[in-house]
Amino acid sequence: MILHQEPFWFLNTKNTSYVIRVLPNQTLQHIHYGGRVSADDFSYYNVFQDRAFSPRILMGPICTSHDIMPLEYPTFGRGDFRAPALRVEGLDGRDVNELQYKSYEIISGKVHIPRMPQLDVNVDDVQTLAITLEDVIVGYEVVLYYSVFENEDIITRTVEIRNTSNGAIRINNIASLSVDFESADFDLVSLEGSWARERHICRRALCQGTTSLESRRGSSSHQMNPFLALADKHTSEHWGGVYGFSLIYSADFKALAEVSQYGDTRVQIGLNPETFSWKLEKGDSFMAPEAIMTYSDKGFNGMSHNFHQACRNHLGKSADPSVKHPLVINNWEATYFNMSDEIIKQFLDDCKGLGIDTFVLDDGWFGRRCDDSSSLGDWFVDENKFSNGLHNVVNHCRENGMEFGIWFEPEMISRNSRLFEEHPDWCIHCEGVEPIPSRNQLVLDMSREEVVDHIFEQMAKIIREYNVSYIKWDFNRNLTDNGSSTLPADRQKEHTHRFVMGVYSLMQRLNDTFPEVFFEGCSGGGGRFDFGILYYMPQIWTSDDTDAVERLKIQYGTSMVYPTSAMVAHVSACPNHQTGRSVSFDTRGEVAQMCNYGYELHVGKLATEEKEKIKGQVARHRALDELVQKGTFYRLNSPFDSILCAWELVSEDKEKAYVCATFQTAMPNAKTFYVKAQGLDADCKYYVKPLGITLGGDTLMQAGLPVRMPDAVEYACLAFDLEKVSE
């Protein structure tokens, strides 16, 4: 897997190689990342010349420049004018760094990043290369870690700065990875969006200059996911080369692709230097969040499969085989804040016998919360709404055959709350300045231990008292007025990172104390849909937009990086509360089936025939759930390019598959589409329901399934269940 053949290191996975070299002047040079290569003598590769306006350095008999070399971990100030991966300032203010190779080590397993989410499950077969470099100007050490996950074609990276110098230093920029490519013939792919419109796929050509994707919001954000892909120009969902990069982190990040004057490309992903800086005392060390990189020559689906496997096999709670994803009904879109013993008991009665596992009581049960203007931080039951605490509701829930789940927004505080009266200084604020509210709320300073302790105690009390089995963890605003009154002036820019580490510590503590409680992440829908959250919580509410047609793009885009086992989709009422659109109950159900399935509506207000359908949909999800949790997901037909959106899930043993094709609109006189399945056994036959015919896997993949828009039906959805038959 990791081979050292001086002066080269070869990091090999099943289908990829990553090659590094140390040059005679001890600079670390990047040689290759992509398809698998032999452990050849790569001295012939990336040979340098002298070029105008690129400052010269002498390298043995030749002159070259840092500015034109593919560098493994570039710094600032010594002739490379492209984006630096690292920028560290000495106590004397010197802002010039030069890293030279010192030593290396190959470690079996992984190195732990303290207090951070990371791929740390099933890592016995993983090997880690640790290369230590020394800054010859300021005098600190840098350790570059590369962990090789052979089967998934994944390499994770992190960077450690050890302050071995004589005084404090300041890290002003630290990318978790940097990769230099010798070409710029790529398209850049990102997942962009907004509230209720998350993770739409955007593909654009690269040209000279820097394209940066980032968040400065204190969360990974609705607007831009911490992910970037570089694809060959001809790459499609199924064919072609593509590199994927993702950061395991839930707050401010920056990803960039820079094309230089010579037509090469530098990619980086890591903490956002605009909102991050870290003072490191002599003798201390700092580790960057972990980044994942992968390469596939099997198109975007191939890249996605590698990310999905990394998550399902190695990422904390998402990789815990004992975790079962319950089928949920949530009362948010049914009652909003209007709740009481009577209202919720009626809601529960209406759900009786439908086969739902868990009822989740959403926002509005605590403090004096009648709308969004109060009570965040007061995690005790509102006795005006619920006379006997939540006991009546919880007992009723169990009598109706369901477990009990509950909503929290642990990181928030309302100005109108008991918590604010007692601790007005616990909110994030800038001394002497009124903090800006958003959704009428402020954010708690989670970098403070006493704040985290207080919230933990309140949540633990509720969990114990009501034997809560499921928590929906929300986060409904972004950070402003950043800084902490407990940090000294020269550490204020550490705050966002310290905040998210405090959040992670609370999540970890709850997981450790209540290992049987299931957590669902949420941030106004999918505003924090990232591998950081998925380390602690095995699923995330994909979007506040529950419109089935809108969900096509959202779920399709999300699957670029995240597995179906991480996504949640609920059937909600129509006209839809976000778009006003009406879509048939069947289409709403079918579009949600690819995710962790549930409902978010008033069953009692449904038409009888819709209510009747629920039992069938629940049974259908029981049959499909194994595919959602473990199956291989294929994007077949893009809703960004066509009126037809199609996707597929195939079981690990290829015995079963499920194809779902949905029209985004109505069209008169539409043609019949033939949707080509993927990932089947070409030599075997499959029975196709509901067509009632048996076809070869080869036929299904080469000729496809007929998808004809029914006449005069808007947003029609056709689902096919494929089952292998023995000859």
The only residue of 98, 258, 544, 550 in contact with ligand DGJ, by rule CB under 6 A: 544
Query: Least distance in Å: CB of 406 to ligand DGJ?
Result: 11
SS3 507: helix
Query: Least distance in Å: CB of 337 to ligand DGJ?
Result: 8
Q: Closer to ligand DGJ at the Cβ: 299 or 598?
A: 598
**Alpha-carbon gap, residue 597 to 618, rounded angstroms:** 8
Query: Least distance in Å: CB of 336 to ligand DGJ?
Result: 8
Q: Decide: is 474 part of the binding site for ligand DGJ (CB under 6 A).
A: yes
Query: Least distance in Å: CB of 403 to ligand DGJ?
Result: 18
- Helix/strand number for the chain, H first, E second: 12, 41
**Alpha-carbon gap, residue 543 to 562, rounded angstroms:** 14
* Amino acid at residue number 217: R
Q: Decide: is 362 part of the binding site for ligand DGJ (CB under 6 A).
A: yes
Q: Decide: is 525 part of the binding site for ligand DGJ (CB under 6 A).
A: yes
Q: Closer to ligand DGJ at the Cβ: 314 or 325?
A: 325
Q: Which of residues 379-408 bind ligand DGJ (CB under 6 A)?
A: 407
Q: Closer to ligand DGJ at the Cβ: 405 or 538?
A: 405
Q: Decide: is 494 part of the binding site for ligand DGJ (CB under 6 A).
A: no
CB atoms within 10 A of CB 399: 12
- 588's enclosing H/E stretch is helix 585-592
- Assess contact for 689 and 720: CB atoms under 8 A: yes
Supply the residues annotated as catalytic: 474, 544
Query: Least distance in Å: CB of 162 to ligand DGJ?
Result: 41
SS3 333: helix
CB atoms within 10 A of CB 63: 13
Q: Among 276-284, 285-293, 522-530, 581-589, which window interacts with ligand DGJ (CB under 6 A)?
A: 522-530
SS3 289: coil
Q: Decide: is 529 part of the binding site for ligand DGJ (CB under 6 A).
A: no
Q: Decide: is 545 part of the binding site for ligand DGJ (CB under 6 A).
A: no
Report the chain's C-alpha Rg in angstroms.
Answer: 27
Q: Among 106-114, 507-515, 519-527, 666-674, which window interacts with ligand DGJ (CB under 6 A)?
A: 519-527
**Alpha-carbon gap, residue 565 to 632, rounded angstroms:** 11
**Residue located via tokens 């698998």:** 36
Query: Least distance in Å: CB of 444 to ligand DGJ?
Result: 16
Length of the chain: 727
* Amino acid at residue number 381: V
Q: Which of residues 315-334 bind ligand DGJ (CB under 6 A)?
A: 332
Q: Decide: is 541 part of the binding site for ligand DGJ (CB under 6 A).
A: yes
| HSE-up of residue 510 (Cα within 13 Å, Cβ side) | 34
Q: Decide: is 550 part of the binding site for ligand DGJ (CB under 6 A).
A: no
Query: Least distance in Å: CB of 660 to ligand DGJ?
Result: 24
Q: Decide: is 366 part of the binding site for ligand DGJ (CB under 6 A).
A: no
- 589's enclosing H/E stretch is helix 585-592
Strands 265-271 and 169-181 come out as: antiparallel
Query: Least distance in Å: CB of 719 to ligand DGJ?
Result: 26
Q: Decide: is 378 part of the binding site for ligand DGJ (CB under 6 A).
A: no
**Alpha-carbon gap, residue 658 to 640, rounded angstroms:** 21
Closest CA to 449 of 477, 426, 479: 426
Q: Decide: is 522 part of the binding site for ligand DGJ (CB under 6 A).
A: yes
Q: How far apart are the first and last CA of the chain?
A: 41
Q: Which of residues 559-588 bind ligand DGJ (CB under 6 A)?
A: none
Q: Closer to ligand DGJ at the Cβ: 21 or 325?
A: 325
The only residue of 158, 476, 596, 678 in contact with ligand DGJ, by rule CB under 6 A: 476
Sequence-distant (6+) residues with CB within 8 A of 677 are: 634, 636, 648, 657, 659, 697, 700, 701, 704, 705, 722
Triad 711, 713, 717: Cα angle to 5°: 110
**Alpha-carbon gap, residue 161 to 470, rounded angstroms:** 39
SS3 304: helix
Q: Decide: is 363 part of the binding site for ligand DGJ (CB under 6 A).
A: yes
Q: Closer to ligand DGJ at the Cβ: 526 or 589?
A: 526
Query: Least distance in Å: CB of 526 to ligand DGJ?
Result: 8
Q: Closer to ligand DGJ at the Cβ: 256 or 328?
A: 328
Q: Among 135-143, 498-506, 520-528, 561-569, which window interacts with ligand DGJ (CB under 6 A)?
A: 520-528
Q: Decide: is 8 part of the binding site for ligand DGJ (CB under 6 A).
A: no
Q: Closer to ligand DGJ at the Cβ: 276 or 365?
A: 365
Q: Which residues bind ligand DGJ (CB under 6 A)?
A: 332, 362-363, 407, 474, 476, 522, 524-525, 541, 544
